[in-house]
């Protein structure tokens, strides 16, 4: 018996095999289907997808064969991969010097006929075979040989698909890790900046109170600008923290509350001027959900409707209905509206629909991303429709939870 030689590129070949992470994996119906077809087309009792490792050959798929692996030294497939561009056909292994004394010839299911097509990696290295076996001598027709080669190509396609999927999983894991690091960094930095900002605001007030008589008008303006900028940065940090907290939110504390009453509390909190008309739902509904999450959603959406309204009289209309599975809430206004090219990205982090609000302040693009996270945490979805210059309508749902 001749032991199969090692390919010249053995180490590279083994590396590519192991990168597929297929050895000793669970059966896969995609490979099993190919072995069934190979056996049926070639009219043989056995078909295998064999992977050649350093010391053993392992069978990823098999039909008519009980063994899970064999030693590489007695492997027919280990000989077949030495001619990676050709099909190896052995009509009668008893007449082949390479297999004299091979234990596979004298087993209960002797390997007499063998045909194996090398399975190549993307770079052309053979990592296994699609092979067929019979217990008696035979030959294959040209049509059967062609079909066997075609089936081997399909196995190679499965290899490439797996390789691509493994790469995608690796990238996804890396991105998840980087995202977690970024979130942790943003949260830490945001918390650490809160106190210095508060000190800046207090110090600005102290400077104004103590040194106002010694400052000219420009100096007073500088202090006002410093305080305003500190408040803007503080607001930005608050929004950023709210966003990351909303991503991690797991709704546990459920309570029953009246939507109409909650809306009245929000309106009182916002101290809305007489230039706005707020139309509340005609009939209230009782929600069983996270009151704090719903409050933040409504507060953000109503605040946006107020901030981005350019009409002499701003109108905000809120509607609500429910069915057996969801609460449906709609908030519409007659404000600036949202440009058509912004609608698809309006809920993305740092996406800004309008350069400035009605007081000339620039938004930070965090609020609506936070709203989306909160809605999702409540088992719902949110959407927006708008005509630029005429207003915008936000519709969101909240999944009902059994009391």
At 98, which CATH number? 3.30.450.40
User: How far apart, in whole angstroms, are the C-alpha atoms of residue 247 and residue 244?
Assistant: 5
Whether residues 16 and 125 fall in one domain: yes
Element housing 153 (H / E):
helix 142-211
| Domain CATH code at residue 353 | 3.30.565.10
Q: Which domain holds residue 298?
A: 255-399
The C-alpha angle 12, 13, 14, rounded to 5 degrees, equals 90
pLDDT at 283: 77
pLDDT at 179: 72
Whether residues 29 and 93 fall in one domain: yes
Domain boundary among 138, 164, 190: 164
pLDDT at 248: 56
Q: At what angle do helices 217-247 and 367-377 cross, to 10 degrees?
A: 20
pLDDT at 373: 86
DSSP letters, 46-103, are EEEEEEE-SSEEEEEEEES---SEEEGGG-HHHHHTTSTTS-EEES-GGG-GGGTT-G
Any domain includes 100: yes
Whether residues 32 and 98 fall in one domain: yes
pLDDT at 364: 58
User: How far apart, in whole angstroms, are the C-alpha atoms of residue 299 and residue 390?
Assistant: 21
Per-residue b/e over 114-138, b at no fewer than 16 CB within 10 Å? bbbbbbbbeeebbbbbbbbbbbeeb
pLDDT in tens, the chain (403 residues): 899 999 989 999 999 999 999 999 999 999 999 999 999 999 999 999 999 999 999 999 999 999 899 999 999 999 999 999 999 999 999 999 999 999 999 888 899 999 999 999 989 999 999 999 999 999 999 999 999 999 999 999 999 999 999 989 888 888 877 777 666 766 666 666 767 777 777 888 888 888 888 888 888 888 887 877 776 666 666 666 666 565 555 556 788 899 999 999 888 888 877 788 899 988 778 998 888 889 889 988 998 898 888 888 899 999 999 988 899 999 999 988 888 888 888 888 766 666 566 566 666 567 788 888 889 888 899 999 998 888 999 999 999 887 5
Any domain includes 68: yes
Any domain includes 317: yes
Domain boundary among 213, 247, 281: 247
Residue 397 CB contacts under 8 Å (≥ 6 apart), including other chains = 326, 327, 328, 329, 375, 380, 381, 382
User: How far apart, in whole angstroms, are the C-alpha atoms of residue 347 and residue 349?
Assistant: 6
pLDDT at 243: 62
User: How far apart, in whole angstroms, are the C-alpha atoms of residue 27 and residue 337?
Assistant: 55
Whether residues 57 and 142 fall in one domain: yes
User: How far apart, in whole angstroms, are the C-alpha atoms of residue 179 and residue 190?
Assistant: 16
The answer to whether 147 touches 41, Cβ cutoff 8 Å, is: yes
DSSP summary character for residue 23: T
Is 304 exposed, middle or buried, given 0-12, 13-18 or 19+ CB atoms closer than 10 A? buried
Whether residues 101 and 150 fall in one domain: yes
- R_g of the chain, CA atoms, integer Å: 35
Beta pairing, strands 314-322 & 276-279: parallel
Whether residues 239 and 309 fall in one domain: no
User: How far apart, in whole angstroms, are the C-alpha atoms of residue 290 and residue 399?
Assistant: 11
First vs last Cα of the chain: how many Å apart? Answer: 75
DSSP summary character for residue 353: S
Whether residues 133 and 193 fall in one domain: no
User: How far apart, in whole angstroms, are the C-alpha atoms of residue 234 and residue 196?
Assistant: 10
- Counting Cα atoms < 13 Å in the Cβ hemisphere of 367 gives 18
Strands, E assignment, 263-325: 276-279, 286-289, 314-322
Query: How many domains does the chain divide into?
Result: 3
User: How far apart, in whole angstroms, are the C-alpha atoms of residue 131 and residue 119?
Assistant: 10
pLDDT at 353: 64
Whether residues 34 and 99 fall in one domain: yes
Residue 392 CB contacts under 8 Å (≥ 6 apart), including other chains = 305, 332, 333, 335, 337, 338, 384, 385, 386
User: How far apart, in whole angstroms, are the C-alpha atoms of residue 18 and residue 53?
Assistant: 8
Whether residues 270 and 298 fall in one domain: yes
Whether residues 160 and 175 fall in one domain: no
Any domain includes 105: yes
Domain boundary among 215, 247, 279: 247
Whether residues 132 and 191 fall in one domain: no
User: How far apart, in whole angstroms, are the C-alpha atoms of residue 112 and residue 200?
Assistant: 88
Any domain includes 2: no
Any domain includes 306: yes
Torsion, Cα 261 264 269 275, to 10 degrees, reads 170
Any domain includes 353: yes
The answer to whether 45 touches 114, Cβ cutoff 8 Å, is: no
Whether residues 23 and 118 fall in one domain: yes
Any domain includes 272: yes
């Amino acid at each position: 018996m001749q032991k199969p030689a090692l390919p010249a590129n053995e180490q590279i070949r083994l590396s590519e095999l192991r990168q597929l992470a297929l050895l000793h994996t669970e059966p896969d119906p995609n490979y099993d289907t190919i072995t069934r077809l190979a056996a049926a087309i070639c009219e043989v009792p056995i078909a295998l997808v064999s992977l050649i490792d350093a010391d053993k050959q392992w069978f990823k798929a098999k039909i008519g064969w009980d063994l899970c692996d064999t030693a590489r030294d007695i492997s027919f497939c280990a000989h077949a991969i030495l001619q990676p561009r050709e099909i190896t056909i052995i009509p009668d292994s008893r007449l082949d010097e390479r297999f004299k004394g091979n234990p596979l010839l004298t087993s209960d299911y002797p390997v007499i006929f063998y045909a194996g097509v090398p399975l190549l990696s993307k770079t052309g290295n053979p990592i296994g075979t699609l092979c067929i076996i019979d217990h008696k001598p035979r030959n294959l027709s040209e049509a059967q040989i062609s079909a066997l080669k075609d089936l081997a190509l399909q196995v190679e396609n499965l290899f490439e698909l797996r390789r691509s999927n493994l790469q995608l999983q690796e990238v996804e894991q890396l991105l998840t890790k980087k995202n977690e690091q970024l979130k942790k960094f943003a949260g830490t930095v945001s918390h650490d900046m809160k106190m210095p900002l508060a000190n800046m605001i207090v110090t600005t007030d102290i400077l104004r109170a103590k040194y106002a008589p010694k400052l000219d008008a420009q100096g007073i303006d500088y202090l006002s600008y410093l305080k305003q900028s500190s408040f803007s940065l503080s607001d930005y940090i608050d929004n950023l923290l709210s966003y990351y907290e909303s991503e991690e939110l797991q709704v546990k504390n459920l309570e029953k509350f009246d939507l109409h009453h909650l809306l009245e509390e929000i309106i009182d909190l916002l101290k809305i001027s007489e230039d706005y008309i707020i139309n509340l739902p005609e009939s209230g509904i009782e929600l069983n959900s996270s009151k704090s999450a719903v409050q933040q959603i409504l507060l953000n959406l109503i605040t946006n409707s107020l901030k981005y309204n350019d009409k002499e009289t701003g109108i905000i209309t809120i509607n609500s209905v429910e069915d057996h599975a969801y609460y449906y809430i709609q908030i519409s206004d007659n404000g600036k509206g949202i440009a058509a090219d912004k609608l698809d990205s309006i809920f993305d982090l740092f996406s800004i629909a309008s350069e400035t609000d009605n007081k000339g302040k620039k938004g930070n693009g965090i609020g609506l991303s936070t709203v989306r996270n909160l809605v999702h945490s409540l088992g719902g979805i949110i959407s927006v429709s708008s005509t630029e210059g005429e207003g915008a309508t936000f519709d969101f749902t909240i999944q009902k939870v059994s009391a």
